[in-house]
Amino acid sequence: MTGSSSKLIIGFAYDNPVNNQAMGVESISCEYEDSETLDWIHHCLSKLGEVIKLPWGRESLIKLINTNVDVIFNITEATGGRNRESLVPAVAEALGIPYTGTDAVGLGLSVDKYLTKVIASHNGIPTSPFVRIDYSSELDKKQADIEALGYPLFVKPVTGGSSQGIRQSARVASFEALLSESNWILESCQDSVLVEKFIPGREFDAGLLETGSLKCLPVAELRLDGGDPEAFYSYEMKSTHRKEIICPADIPQDVTRQIQGYSHRLFNTLHCRDLARIDFRRGEDGIIYFLEINPLPGLSPLYSVFPKQAEAAGINPEELIEILVRNALARSAKAFP
């Protein structure tokens, strides 16, 4: 190890919680863990070794370059487009430091909801039909393609995560409403727009965790508004934690196997590592539709789905943190003390 022979030195890379108004996007704070969760993760890491805080920013990058750490525990979402989640892994690899989670390429692909839907569809995983809009001038040109999808439609940022840019107005029933929501995303979120057919139904989350081998955690159901099939996880709902997590989900075994099979296939196709949460909707037609994949899922033991899935598999939240650190070290010549 680069630190002492008996003390693991862990760089904790994360985002400082932010104020929405200060960032200029009303739902940006959904992207980051809150202070309580950051303190909890820091406490867990402190039991494994000495922790050096690396909040996202120029100063922390300089600090990382000039500090010997054995491993980086990375949950950084960062800012600035579709490369943002790839930045810490890319820097870590350049410095030869092992880190938790998926590499820069896998994170870059996964954060792009359009590309992941293309990849999922190519690999035989159903996903609702969709259209991508990069400029406001394309809206009129692609009106026929958009309306061919059939209303109601769902409008969201291509690279936004954790309900960022998804408002209660994201579900639209007319082209006029779609224009309004799309232009807001293009201008306020500075992002491309993904327009997809809205799928009424139940929402499910698959969890994947590497513990020696890749394991599927129990599937969870994200029950919104008491199980309303028209409900979706908007910023307004997420910011007040208005959801019920049911884990394991009450679904037939064949549905569980199908969700887990799709998840396993996409995880391996994108070459993800360590962990991921993959979101699906089961439509009223019985088809399981892929929504998105998140290789940096929330880790809050209070609010997040993934830790509850791990607990349902017999892994407590603190053990989960240790597993991720051990996985990162196992990819290098460094040993866990």
Share of residues in the chain with pLDDT > 90 (%)? 76
pLDDT confidence of residue 31: 65
Cα–Cα distance, 88 to 104 (Å, whole number): 8
pLDDT confidence of residue 11: 97
Q: Name the nearest CA neighbour of 218 among 78, 292, 313.
A: 313
Residue-wise pLDDT for 123-134, tens only, equals 999 999 999 999
The identity of residue 130, as a single letter, is F
pLDDT confidence of residue 24: 44
In angstroms, the Cα distances linking 23 to 26, 30, 37, 165 are 8, 12, 21, 13
Cα–Cα distance, 160 to 162 (Å, whole number): 7
Are 204 and 198 spatial neighbours (Cβ–Cβ below 8 Å)?
Answer: no
pLDDT confidence of residue 3: 45
Question: φ and ψ at 197, to 5 degrees?
Answer: -65, 125
Domains parsed from the chain with CATH numbers: 9-100 (3.40.50), 129-197 (3.30.1490.20), 200-322 (3.30.470.20)
Helix (H) or strand (E) holding 94: helix 87-95
In angstroms, the Cα distances linking 284 to 47, 172, 253, 257 are 47, 19, 18, 19
Which residue positions in the chain have pLDDT lower than 70?
Answer: 1-6, 18-31, 161-163, 235-242, 334-337
